Amino acid sequence: MLHLQPKKLPTILESSLLLLSIVGIISYFIIRLQTVPHVPILLGILVMLLYGFVRKFDFKTLQHGMIQGAQSGMGAILLFFMIGILISSWMISGTIPVLMDAAFSLASGSWFFAVVFAVTAIVGVSLGSSFTTSATLGVAFIGVAQTTDASLAITAGAIVSGAFFGDKMSPLSDTTNLASTIVKVDLFDHIKNMAWTTVPAFIISFILFVFLSPKVTGTPDKINAFKQQLDATGLMHWTSWIPLLLLIVLSLWKKPAFVTLAISSLTASVLAGFRGMAPFGDIWGIWFDGYKASTEVDAINSLLSRGGINSMLFTISLVILALALGGLFFITGVLPAILEGVRDMLQSIRSITVSTALTAIGINIFIGEQYLSILLTGETYQDIYDKAGLARKNLSRALEDAGTVINPLVPWSVCGVFLADVLGVAVVDYLPFAFFCLLSPLLTIFFGLTGWTIKPKKA
């Protein structure tokens, strides 16, 4: 959206007041009035249109800004369609049920939340996708929590923390590659430098989840009963592991996420068809409407009735609205004015690091898109780091610490909307327990203030 800038920018004060007002409106409606996010974001769009008219913008120009903003999220939107299909096909093929069965076995220990965090982190690094990890293994762990005394909010916080640890540290992750590429830093140098903040955040988060975990997550009899009921559905089969293994292999081969999810979904659907889980003609309807379990146990039906393109339409419509609002912020010069103003006030390591983190966080809040947070902050600050004699890998680390992992904490963001929909837990509920995502920006700011691990630019 960098090209969406008017010739004359508004003042920083004017831009800041407008942004704070719109964020206030959105926060009030979502938190206080408990409305769906679509409504306040649409109101924000109307406010920005009114502001544009006051500043003498014609509607065609403002509409262009909204369209360009929405188009920037088409990659994610297409991926959402495929994730909805993946969940439904993995349900009918038994892939998610076998993951649930394995998760039930892990749930019998006393460190349930810590196990959820660690396992999703490992899988997240392997897959390089927080969305895929949350939509598959995350759904399985939420299913376990629903059948025991485990808190859904803390479970979701552990899932989000682990999934975004993987999204941040995996060489297969698109955000990791974007952060290193945009500031021209070697990928593995970038990952190695992130360890200074990521490893402490992981250790602290793991310890917190250990302390929060109940001594016994449900009774063994209850867990065994659900395992038996899950087995009685007939969904689980040794072939159920094939779509998951295929997903991992294709991810390791660095195939595009859309292609990987499509191949895994098609494979799962074909396997389900040959096993007679549903007629082939019905499977395509399941792709759209999701899988609907019809056992005699309501709890099992609730666990397994998920997925489908239709389930993602709420998410997709919200993403389009949020990015359209972001396009208006740029076409009217509101965000460019703030970014330009910030550049002129940075001199010391402390101010540069803190400002980088706050800018990445701010773009996540105002636009709700992690890719734009990384892209815009990286392009804005790389020259500043060069002039200050700081290595650019300090910048790429800050982009991930305050950009990648903040997006799932914003209720109207792309990640926040997706996770709330897939996990069935509101962002404001799991936010206090997404320890890894909360600690990462705090640690990068702390190291910036102290100067620890901040590397100088090599001569």
Per-residue HEC secondary structure of 341-387 comes to HHHCCCCCHHHHHHHHHHHHHHHHHHHCCHHHHHHHHHHHHHHHHHH
Residues of the chain short of pLDDT 50, as ranges, are: 217, 459
- Name the amino acid, one letter, at 134: S
Tokens of 121: 């982190």
Distance CA 170, CA 76 (A): 19
Strands (E) in 217-281, as ranges, are none
Bin 292: left if φ > 0, else alpha if -120 < ψ < 50, else beta: beta
Q: What is the largest CA-CA distance in the chain?
A: 70
**Whether the Cβ atoms of residue 396 and residue 185 lie closer than 8 Å to each other:** yes
pLDDT at residue 214, as a whole number = 77
Q: Which of 336, 326, 327, 285 is nearest to 309 (CA)?
A: 285
The predicted structure's pLDDT at residue 215: 67
Domain boundaries, the chain: 12-74+313-450, 75-304
- Tokens describing residue 224: 């065994």
pLDDT at 318: 79
Q: How far apart are CA 247 and CA 241, in angstroms?
A: 10
Contact 448, 357 (CB under 8 A): yes
Residue 138 and residue 141: Cα distance in Å, rounded? 5
* pLDDT confidence of residue 344: 67
Per-residue pLDDT at 217: 46
State the sign of the Cα–Cα–Cα–Cα dihedral 179, 182, 183, 188. Answer: positive
Does the pTM surpass 0.95? The reply is no
Q: pLDDT at position 37, please?
A: 79
